[in-house]
């Protein structure tokens, strides 16, 4: 079985396993106590904090350990907003942030705050200018991930941090995906990360708050972790997290070159091997191990099951993998195809043979899914140079399949109106038009759902 979902959780690094087992024997006592066992535990905790701070590029007393990366995000955003409440209650986030950031933004808005969501381009990147435009006199905090978790696109953190610093606004960086590869550049103010993303154990997050940043921890007071993360420290896991981060950093430069070559191979060959595929994300400014593509006329969940049966563990941002049948917010913000989406995220140590075998298996898997789905006969009514396709009640990717089957039935310049009540159609039909050189005219109201109008150009 080839595990290609490291962006969700990386396999436990051998160094993490060794450190975890050793610290179970040495680090079980309360590090706040003054007796021998407590002092030994305190030494382990302090050493882990120093190692982690060195890897991040901050002072040890600026870094605290939390119970997860999500908890670090929630605590960091809530504390920074509360600390700057006198300035205002305006929060800035990008449209492609991790759900933990967006959920915090939703909670802030529900509590009476205001939120500006900064748009991204088709590669998933923001610009420093867009953050500068979003800044206001009452902006308390801005948030930006260092690299995207679904498509791998790196963000211009240093440039955004510069415009935020000039405006006196702290920037919180979610570095969960990138910290294993290196420090986050720029004059950021707060940083969060999660150990299981770089091969450490789950249940360890970190929150960094630079000196001088106004911060007011929320919730009941607790003496642990400078009052910023309540609860008894999971010392064995913390020690293993610090040890594994040091280990993966030592391997990062060489491994990045190797994984980047493998993902470039996938980016280049998938469109050659599989027709009607869109590879998404920035081609250059990206994490070494992530490559994401979307296949037209494919149910993403079915494709993932086919690849699983073939021995490959991959993930998807496709709308069809969600119980809510709504597109991935990242793909939606980028305006790219969401159906049949596959994210391949290679863990360190992935061998070339596994990637080649994946490329051999993928075309057959996609073809098999397309064959199983078929293309239901479009219920079409011709109206001179216009055609109406009734796809009401049909889920992705059927509306796009039906559009593709009938676009040739209207003359060049004629239009097809696709009736659909599936939220994914709002994203996938415009994406199909861009891929196939047709004109997306727009969305019109309908008795049920919406009518998506496409003009044939060729």
Q: Cα(190)–Cα(175) distance, rounded to whole angstroms?
A: 10
Main-chain phi, psi angles of 388, to 5 degrees = -110, 130
Yes or no: say if 349 and 340 are a contact pair by the CB < 8 Å rule.
no
Helices (H), 125-278: 128-134, 157-166, 235-273
How many C-beta neighbours within 10 Å does residue 326 have?
A: 15
The C-alpha atoms of residue 274 and residue 229 are separated, in whole angstroms, by 48
Q: At which residue do the structure tokens 């995220």 appear? A: 345
Please tell me the total number of residues recorded for the chain in this structure. 458
The rounded distance, in Å, linking the Cα atoms of 147 and 345 is 13
Instruction: Let me know: does 152 contact 165? Beta carbons within 8 Å.
Output: no
Residues 6 or more apart whose CB falls under 8 angstroms from that of 348 comprise 6, 10, 199, 248, 251, 255, 259, 289
Tokens of 310: 């073939």
- For 55, 105, 121, 176, 208, the CA distances from 58, given in Å and listed in that order, are 8, 26, 31, 16, 8
Note if 320 is an active site residue.
Answer: yes
* Choice among 164, 320, 396, 433 that is catalytic: 320
- d(CA 411, CA 83) in angstroms, rounded, equals 62
Half-sphere exposure of 67 (CA within 13 A, CB side): 8
Integer CA distances (angstroms), 30 to 42, 45, 65, 201, 203, in order: 8, 10, 15, 20, 18
Under 8 Å between Cβ of 199 and 350: no
Spatial separation of the C-alpha atoms in residues 443 and 67, rounded to whole Å: 45
Burial (0-12, 13-18, 19+ Cβ within 10 Å), 372? exposed
Q: Count CA within 13 A, CB hemisphere, residue 23.
A: 28
C-alpha to C-alpha distance for 158 and 187, rounded to whole angstroms: 7
DSSP state of 154: B
* CA gap 201, 72 in Å, rounded: 16
Q: Give catalytic residues, as residue numbers.
A: 320
């Amino acid at each position: 079985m080839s595990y290609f979902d490291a962006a969700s959780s990386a396999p436990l690094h051998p160094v993490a396993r060794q450190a975890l087992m050793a610290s179970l024997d040495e680090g079980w006592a309360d590090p706040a106590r003054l007796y021998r066992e407590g002092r030994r535990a305190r030494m382990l905790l302090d050493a882990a904090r120093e190692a982690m701070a060195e890897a991040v590029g901050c002072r040890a007393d600026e870094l605290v350990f939390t119970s997860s990366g999500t908890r670090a995000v929630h605590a960091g955003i809530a504390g920074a907003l509360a600390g700057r409440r006198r300035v205002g209650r305006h929060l800035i986030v990008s449209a492609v942030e991790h759900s933990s950031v967006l959920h915090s933004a939703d909670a802030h808005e529900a509590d009476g705050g205001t939120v500006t969501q900064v748009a991204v381009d088709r590669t998933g990147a923001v610009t420093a200018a867009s953050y500068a435009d979003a800044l206001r006199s009452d902006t308390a905090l801005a948030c930006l991930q260092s690299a995207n978790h679904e498509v791998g696109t790196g963000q211009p953190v240093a440039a955004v941090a510069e415009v935020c610093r000039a405006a006196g606004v702290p920037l919180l960086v979610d570095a969960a995906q990138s910290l294993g590869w290196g420090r986050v550049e720029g004059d950021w103010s707060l940083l969060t990360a999660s150990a299981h993303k770089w091969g450490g154990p789950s249940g360890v997050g970190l929150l960094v708050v630079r000196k001088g940043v106004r911060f007011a921890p929320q919730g009941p007071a607790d003496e642990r972790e400078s009052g910023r993360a309540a609860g008894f420290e999971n010392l064995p896991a913390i020690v293993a997290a610090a040890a594994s981060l040091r280990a993966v950093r030592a391997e990062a430069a060489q491994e990045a070159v190797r994984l980047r070559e493998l993902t470039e191979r996938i980016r280049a060959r998938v469109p050659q091997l599989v027709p009607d595929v869109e590879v998404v994300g920035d081609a250059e400014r990206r994490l070494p191990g992530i490559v994401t593509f979307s296949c037209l006329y494919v149910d993403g969940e079915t494709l993932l099951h086919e690849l699983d049966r073939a021995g490959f563990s991959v993930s998807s941002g496709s709308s069809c993998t969600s119980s809510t049948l709504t597109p991935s917010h990242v793909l939606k913000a980028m305006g790219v195809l969401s159906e049949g989406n596959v994210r391949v995220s290679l863990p360190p140590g992935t061998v070339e043979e596994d990637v080649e075998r994946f490329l051999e298996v993928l075309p057959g898997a996609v073809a098999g899914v397309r064959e199983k789905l078929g293309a239901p006969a479009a219920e079409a009514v011709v109206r001179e140079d216009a055609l109406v396709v009734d796809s009401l009640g049909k889920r992705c990717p059927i509306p796009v399949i039906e559009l593709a089957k009938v676009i040739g039935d209207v003359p060049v310049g004629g239009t097809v109106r696709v009736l659909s009540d599936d939220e994914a159609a709002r994203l996938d039909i415009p994406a199909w038009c861009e891929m196939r050189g047709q004109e997306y005219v727009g969305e019109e109201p309908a008795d049920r759902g919406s009518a998506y109008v496409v003009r044939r150009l060729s």
